Amino acid sequence: MDTTTPVSFDVHAMRRARVVEALRELGGGVAVLLTAPTRTRNRDSEYPYRYDSAFWWLTGFGEPESAIVIVVTPDRAYTTLFCQEKDVERELWEGARLGVEAAAATLGVDLALPIDMLDEELPKVLAYAPALFIPFGSESALEAQAQQWIASVRSLHRHATPPAVIRDLSPILDELRLVKDAHELSIMRAAGSISADAHRRAMRATRAGRFEYEIEAELLYEFRRRGAQAPAYTPIVAAGVAACTLHYVANNAVLRDGDLLLVDAGCELDGYASDITRTWPINGRYTAAQRALYELVLAAQTAAIACIAPGRRYDEAHRAAVRTLTQGLLDLGVLKGSLDDLIESKAYGRFYMHGTGHWLGLDVHDVGDYRVPGSGPGRDGERPSRPLVPGMTMTVEPGLYVRAADDVPERFHDIGIRIEDDVVVTATGCELLTRGVPVEPGEIERLVRD
């Protein structure tokens, strides 16, 4: 069980204060968030434990069977952490617990109580509360539990009034988590550095005749060697035509001379994800066709990155990448027609069928609305794309996936390429967090041949 904690819990206290402010603006109430449960893998074996991301963001506490309750009234606000009690027998098997007595002082909360008291205490704090805030849809059991708490309020005494409404806590937390603070960015920079070094190691280890899982092993070794707790997601190590399968994870094929290897892998460090993709030649030399497509994808990424700055819209990067890729496919004879018509009809979607990026943070596909929250639809019937502000972090990952077809030049058959980096918006533009691993084709070739 990983219970890694930040150096200081002050940052989590400041985040809880922001939640209090948000709840006060909505009229106050009680917010309840449970951490993730343990999951059985098979029989009596469990999956490696990973705490709930929002719970970690609020507390920095990594133990299971925990809950946080934030109460906001007109004249006060306080936080209670519910956690496991010390248990010498179970700790002998599972490792040390923080325990209730140490939790309040260690985590900076107002009160700590045993998790077994949650159902007993919640009706008391919900009495006369105007609203109960819980995350909708994450754990259906919590919604049922909330109904039981509300029903129990009436049994306290005949004048007790339960909350008039149950509201979704997730949009509040998602909006606050979207812009990263300095503490988060320092971890994400370190995660990006570790993952970049892992990709460099994987490039040097690549040889025809090896298996995809051998390259995966090099990545995982470097993640752990450098102190990351786990991969942020199942690594994609896709050789040859497998690179045209976006979420290929079999990782069991042999590497063949002349093919490309697409590797999409990133570590998780203290809860925060890194996400890098590189595509390199297994023999250390791009063919002319491979290089032409690679340089086109790199040009699309460069165009997208140029659109990332404060005040620019989130979707500008994608539109720039699409325009660059479509023009390039026209120039190479893969597509035919006019540029604007091909973009309008989304003809490029046959070869580029995903977005150019996603938010990044405690989740590899992190929380946050990509469009202006609460806004009305624009001319296209959708809410306008969100303006970028400093502290937003995202990936930039254009790609091309060209499967064999009669109307596609044969030299491009079964080539899949993606280039992905992690980016944070700064006051003047953006900062690339993962360029410790090269993107220029000549540099990549030299690394593979080393």
Give the residue numbers annotated as catalytic, written as ranges: 44, 247, 264, 275, 354, 358, 365, 397, 401, 418, 420
Specify the length of the chain in residues: 450
What's 79's DSSP letter?
E
**Which whole-number Å values give the CA distances from 294 to 20, 58, 285, 401, in the listed order?**
48, 42, 12, 11
- Partners of residue 402 on adjacent β-strands: 415
d(CA 49, CA 2): 7
Closest CA to 150 of 135, 165, 169: 165
> What residues contact 419, with CB distance under 8 A and at least 6 apart?
277, 278, 279, 294, 297, 298, 301, 397, 398, 399, 439
**Distance, CA of 316 to CA of 359 (rounded, Å):** 15
Distance CA 256, CA 260 (A): 8
CA distance 184 to 245: 32
Q: Residue 28, Cβ neighbours under 10 Å: how many?
A: 18
Taking alpha carbons only, the member of 142, 145, 68, 135 closest to residue 107 is: 68
* Contact of 373 with 364, CB cutoff 8 Å: no
Spell 57-72 as b/e; 16+ CB within 10 A means b: bbbbbbbbbbbbbbbb
Q: Which helix (H) or strand (E) holds 46?
A: strand 45-46
Q: ∠18-434-201 over CA atoms, to 5°?
A: 135
